Amino acid sequence: MPVKPQVASAESTRNSDDEGCPTLTNKFSTLYIKPLVSPFSIIIDNTKTMAAGGIHGDVLEGILSHVPVIDLVPVSHVSHSWKRAVSSSLAHVRPIKPWLIVVTQNRRASHVTALHAYDPRSHLWLQIKHPTSTSTHASPLCSSHSTLLYTLSLAHFSFSLDALHLHWHHAPSPRLCRTHPLVARVANLVVIAGGVCHFEDDPLAVEIYHIETRTWETCPSMPPLLKGSTASSWLSVAVAGQVMHVTEKHSGVTYSFHTEFKTWKGPFNLRAAASVFHCVTGTLGNRFMLAGLLGEVDDVKGVKLWEVRLRDGLGSGMEEVGEMPTDMVGRLFSGSELGSLEATWIGNFVYLMNSSTPEEFVACELLDGGGCQWRTLRNPAVNYGSRMVVCAGDVRMQDLRRAMTSENLTFCVKHV
């Protein structure tokens, strides 16, 4: 059932109406904003009553701070003053936070996909539905360094960079045949490294795709030390500025590829402690981060986060910034096989998942004043007949407005 946008005060409580959609009630009134023929055709109940009651300025902005982001889109079209209140509330009271995106793809029919998203500002899971409910993807979907979604085959290479991953850039395929390579978007380039098919000459080959000119360029190959682990399942990739960092997950050995100068540097040792047996990297803003598993493959003792110092070179040190609570470690790893630690990094958030038990995420938010806030999230997108790909998007109001209007998408709350 599509979401029925509401506005409520700070004393709001969440209930369910007769149609199964969540509602917000408050001591003033309940405000319903119902789409008619188009998202811009809306009926506002009790608007005059609220206006007469002096709901404006800081009070209105405070009320709007408790409204889910998807409901603020139609609210912003009530009037110019409400639009300003929405913008001010998001800028100064309760900003939008980046979304976690989960895409499922039918294993037998690749064109059948489903899109779910978690909004950490509103603490809501959403299913995003398109009228056609199918895509044009004939190849398996993949994700890389949290914000890049792509498909790669012998004939085609397509990738998506927008926040909700609704728009795709279709490019000619790379010159070499590859399976499970490293793929990274660096500025206006897309780097593809390793994963070369066995019948090709160079298993470490690197190619760069120039988005603006739609052309491929051959670059220096990956360092020989990575020859035994060139597939994406063995390596973790992170992008910081013009540099792509490639880390071997088990050893922590890391090399850096500078896309401007087409040079490799390293190796650097990012194994933060002797007890770390598996690690993955990513970036949060300008911070180069590492998540590490402590213990052994069949006995995970803990999960820690580190920030890697970049100022004096990649090997200049690491600083521990957080440790997952013990009970969450147990929920994520106890009693199950360790597939691999998958991490999705965006904004101030990292979402961690054991690939063998995708039913649950552990989310960590790095707080501005220092420290971490941890929580567990049930994953409503799990479908055992489908492949699951996890990424993220820095969603903005303009993205949601465009999705609800020109894209004609529907956002439905998923209760978990």
- pLDDT band at 24; cut points 50, 70, 90: very low
Q: Where do we find the tokens 């990094």?
A: 345
Look at residue 392 and give its three-state secondary structure: strand
Burial category of 159 from C-beta neighbours within 10 Å (exposed 0-12, middle 13-18, buried 19 and up): buried
Same structural domain, 106 and 21: no
Question: Which range, 115-124, 221-230, 338-347, 405-414, has the best average confidence (pLDDT)?
Answer: 115-124
Between CA 351 and CA 390 the distance in angstroms is 10
Q: Is the residue at 264 inside a domain?
A: yes
Mean pLDDT across the stretch 110-128? 91
Q: Which residue, of 95, 130, 161, is where some domain finishes?
A: 95
Q: What is the mean pLDDT of the chain?
A: 83
Q: Which residues contact 229 (CB under 8 A, 6 or more apart)?
A: 235, 248
Q: Is the residue at 78 inside a domain?
A: yes
The upper half-sphere exposure of residue 328, i.e. CA atoms within 13 Å in the direction of its Cβ, equals 20
Cα angle 52-55-58, degrees, rounded to a multiple of 5 = 155
Q: Is the residue at 410 inside a domain?
A: no
Same structural domain, 232 and 332: yes
Q: Which residue, of 80, 95, 110, is where some domain finishes?
A: 95
Same structural domain, 112 and 27: no
Mean pLDDT across the stretch 364-388? 91
Per-residue pLDDT tens digits for 331-349: 998 766 667 889 999 999 9
pLDDT number for residue 171: 93
Mean pLDDT across the stretch 352-361? 92
pTM: 0.85
Answer yes or no: is pLDDT of 111 > 50.
yes
Residue 350 pairs in a beta bridge with 345, 364
pLDDT number for residue 286: 87
CATH code, 335: 2.120.10.80
Same structural domain, 77 and 116: no
pLDDT number for residue 13: 36
Between CA 181 and CA 164 the distance in angstroms is 24
Q: Is the residue at 413 inside a domain?
A: no
Q: Is the residue at 414 inside a domain?
A: no
| Cis amide bond preceding 68, omega within 30 | no
Same structural domain, 317 and 210: yes
Q: Is the residue at 411 inside a domain?
A: no
Mean pLDDT across the stretch 28-57? 43
Same structural domain, 175 and 280: yes
DSSP string, 133-169: -B----S--EEETTTEEEEE-SSEEEEE-STT----E
pLDDT number for residue 3: 44
- pLDDT band at 39; cut points 50, 70, 90: very low
Same structural domain, 61 and 197: no
Same structural domain, 129 and 48: no
Q: Is the residue at 1 inside a domain?
A: no
Same structural domain, 151 and 180: yes
CB-CB contact of 194 with 222 (8 Å) = yes
Mean pLDDT across the stretch 3-19? 37
Same structural domain, 105 and 32: no
- Residue 14: CB atoms within 10 A of its CB come to 15
> Positive or negative CA dihedral for 198, 202, 208, 213?
negative
Same structural domain, 90 and 138: no
Per-residue pLDDT tens digits for 160-209: 999 998 889 999 999 999 988 999 999 999 999 999 988 888 999 999 99
- Of 4-13, 112-121, 194-203, 324-333, minimum mean pLDDT range: 4-13
Between CA 153 and CA 135 the distance in angstroms is 16
Domain that holds residue 264: 99-404
Same structural domain, 75 and 145: no
318 or 110, greater pLDDT: 318
Answer yes or no: is pLDDT of 121 > 50.
yes
Q: How many domains does the structure of the chain reveal? A: 2
pLDDT number for residue 280: 96
Q: Which residue, of 63, 95, 127, is where some domain finishes?
A: 95
Q: Is the residue at 257 inside a domain?
A: yes
- pLDDT band at 106; cut points 50, 70, 90: confident
